[in-house]
Amino acid sequence: MISHTDRRTAALRPDLLGTRFEFNTPWVVVTGAPSSGKTTVLERLRQLGLAYNSEIARVFIEQELSKGRNLQEIRADEGQFQLGLIKAKLSLERETPQDKFALFDRAMPDSVTYYRVAGLDPNEALPYCFHFHYNTVFLFDRLPLQLDHARTEDDKTAEFLDVWLERDYRALGYEVVRVPAMTIEERTHLILQNLQARGLL
C-alpha cells in the first residue's frame, strides 16, 4: 500500500499519460501557488476586457461558508472535497465553447497536484485531464504568502505546489510559461504579449 508521503511524490502512470486528448481548445490557464498574485492579474485582465472563469475551489468554499458551514466541515473528507472540485471543473469546461478563447483561474491538472498535497493518489485525478487540451499555461512565481478563510495552505505547502504544478502540467505535455514576480502591470503586459504572439487575441 502506498503511504501518504509516497503519494505526494508518486510518479504519474505512463499508460494514463499516453491518453489522447478529446478536444483541442484555444483556452488559457493561469495557475500558481497560493499568494502568487494570479487572481489580482486576472482581475486586471478582466478590466481590460478579458473575462475569466474563477477558481472553482474558492467559489465552492465561499458558497458553503454562506450556508453556515465552517472550513473544517467543508474539508472534513478531503477525498470527497477534491472529487467534488473535479466534477465542478468538468461541468464548467463542458459549458465553455471549445472553439472560443477562454481564460481559467486554475484548471483540471491542478487537481492532480492538489491530490498530492492531500496525500491522495494523483493518478486518480489524471484521467479527467484528457477531456480538453489547453492552448497555453501560465504559472505565476510566488509572492509572500497571505492567508485568508478560503486559502489554507502554509508556506511549505505553497513551495510544494509551486514545484509540482509545473511538473504535473509538463508531464501532461504542456509548455509552462513562468510569470516572474513583477508589478501587476508588468505581469499583465507579459501575458498579453504572449497571447498576441500565439494569435489568441
Residue 58's pLDDT is 86
> Is the pLDDT reported for residue 177 higher than 60?
yes
d(CA 197, CA 194): 5
Do residues 128 and 76 lie in contact, with contact meaning Cβ atoms separated by under 8 Å? no
The model's pTM is: 0.90
Reading the block at residue 194, the C-alpha cell is 504572449
Domain extent at residue 58: 14-197
Q: What is the pLDDT of residues 137-162, one digit of tens each?
A: 999 999 876 655 555 557 889 899 99
- Looking at the 3D structure of the chain, how many domains does it have? 1
What CATH number should be reported for the domain holding residue 56? 3.40.50.300
pLDDT at 63: 84
Residue 159 in any domain: the answer is: yes
Quick check: is 154 in a domain? yes
Q: How confident is the model at residue 59 (pLDDT cuts 50, 70, 90)?
A: confident
